């Protein structure tokens, strides 16, 4: 049985924790014959009841765990903590606010089984974002591509599955000013 770590950085997400948990459980129940999961929250110095919500889940479900950061370090560092504490054969990193639909994890697992070590979700449409945000985002990636020798995939967010080998490669990169979307490409594993 393979273990999948689902790693979720959370900053002031008290309203989302319970529904995220439910959605993740629903999805992972469908593949429970082949996979166990751990739901690893990284509480990034939340000032609301996020930690209490997580602790509440943890009392009833030992698949839930939490790394409680001492203050707000930002999402990139919170994600790095997830890479450090993940026990899984693969890790899925996703946002707490359900902008990353957990159902997509099933497709990611299929691609992982085909041998891909870095499976990323691409946004079909930037839902709910205004024209200006879309345009600036497009521009940002264009400029970034010109400035950087490492390609960064546009619209490929941080909703991703990483094989254990890719996690370990990322763990060797101890940058504190992290840009994880660049690091994914720098470590160079087989992508889909
Ligand atoms: N997040 C975090 N630390 C922060 C800010 C955000 O861990 O300082 C988490 C947040 O809880 C969410 C994810 O990072 O799970 C993405 O944050 P957000 O939804 O604010 O970003 P966006 O949707 O604009 O990418
Ligand atoms: Mg969001």
Mean pLDDT per 10-residue run, the chain (192 residues)? 98 98 98 98 98 98 98 97 98 96 96 97 74 78 70 75 97 87 91 90
> What was the pLDDT predicted at 64?
98
Q: Is the CB of 158 under 6 A from ligand 1?
A: no
Atom 2 in ligand 1: residue holding the nearest Cα: 75
Residue 150 confidence (pLDDT): 65
Class of domain 2-124+155-186 (CATH, top level): alpha beta
- Rounded CA-CA distance 135/138 in Å is 5
Coil, helix or strand for 88? coil
Q: Considering the entire predicted model, what is its pTM?
A: 0.88
Contact 79, 152 (CB under 8 A): no
pLDDT score of 111: 97
Q: What is the CB neighbour count within 10 angstroms for residue 135?
A: 11
Number of the ligand 1 atom closest to the C-alpha atom of 42: 7
CA distances from 69 to 49, 53, 81, 93, 159 (A): 14, 16, 9, 17, 21
Kindly identify the ligand whose nearest atom is closest to the C-alpha of 8.
Answer: 1
Cα(34) to ligand 1 centroid in Å equals 30
pLDDT at residue 177 in the model: 83
* Residue to mutate (ligand 1; options 97, 134, 159; most atoms within 8 A of CB): 97
pLDDT of residue 137: 79
Q: Which atom of ligand 1 is nearest to the CA of 12?
A: 11
Q: Give the alpha-carbon dihedral of 119, 125, 131, 136, to 10 degrees.
A: 10
pLDDT for residue 130: 77
Is 72 touching ligand 1 by the criterion CB < 6 Å?
yes
The predicted pLDDT at position 154 comes to 66
């Amino acid at each position: 049985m393979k273990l999948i770590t689902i790693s979720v950085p959370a900053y002031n997400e008290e309203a989302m924790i319970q529904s995220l948990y439910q959605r993740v459980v629903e999805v992972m129940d469908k593949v429970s014959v082949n996979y166990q999961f751990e739901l690893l929250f990284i509480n990034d110095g939340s000032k609301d009841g996020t930690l209490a919500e997580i602790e509440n889940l943890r009392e009833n479900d030992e698949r839930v765990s939490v790394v409680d950061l001492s203050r707000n370090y930002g999402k990139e560092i919170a994600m790095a903590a997830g890479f450090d504490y993940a026990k899984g054969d693969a890790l899925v990193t996703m946002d707490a606010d359900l902008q990353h639909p957990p159902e997509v994890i099933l497709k990611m697992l299929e691609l992982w089984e085909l041998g891909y070590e870095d499976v990323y979700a691409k946004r079909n449409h930037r839902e709910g974002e205004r024209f200006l945000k879309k345009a600036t985002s497009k521009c940002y990636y264009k400029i970034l591509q010109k400035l950087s020798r490492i390609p960064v995939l546009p619209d490929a967010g941080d909703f991703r599955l990483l094989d254990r080998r890719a996690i370990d490669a990322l763990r060797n990169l101890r940058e504190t000013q992290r840009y994880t979307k660049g690091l994914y490409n720098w470590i160079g594993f087989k992508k889909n």
